[in-house]
Structure 1
Amino acid sequence: MNAKLNDLKSTWVDSDDAPELDDVFFKSASLHDGNKLIRRGRPVSSAPLKKSATIRYSPEVIDAFKSTGRGWQTRMDTVLKDWLKKHDPSDVKI
């Protein structure tokens, strides 16, 4: 095991070359208490955040979007946003 540690090549040249730890770094960092993860860090994004919701759809709607593969929820969101451009949800009669 020590042989592997000795084989590691350090690319560190000077401690002054280290990046500055600014507010952006700390906002996107994970917070640990020892080995226990307290809060997982997320990259800071300029894009608007999405809201989480629990919602029920008919099986045929879910199956149709899931059959399109990875990203099906994003596609579903895109379709609904496009629908909102042309329709008013309050006009839908149930």
Structure 2
Amino acid sequence: MTISRKRLDELENIPESAIDTSDIPELDASFWEKAKLVQPSAKQAISLRVDSDVLDWFKSQGKGYQSLMNAVLRSYVEHHIKNNNEV
């Protein structure tokens, strides 16, 4: 998802007092007792051949299209691992 510079400027100029945070719970001590640091896994550069139309679609999604491709592949793998299916 991309956001325009104009919309970013609008959001940056909203005063703190105008932001409704009533639906956001406070982070108390119990949250931090259960919290754990999750570090991103290391990426490995590869060469991959994909159909032109598939690559074009991902590129049309904007900046970060390679991360999006990785997320789609990760979702596929996790689904198959969860369901004990062969990939």
User: If the length of structure 2 is used for normalisation, what is the TM-score?
Assistant: 0.46
Work out which of the two has the higher radius of gyration on C-alpha atoms and give 1 or 2.
1
Greater percentage in strand: 1
Greater percentage in helix: 2
| Larger relative contact order (CA 8 Å, sep ≥ 6) | 2
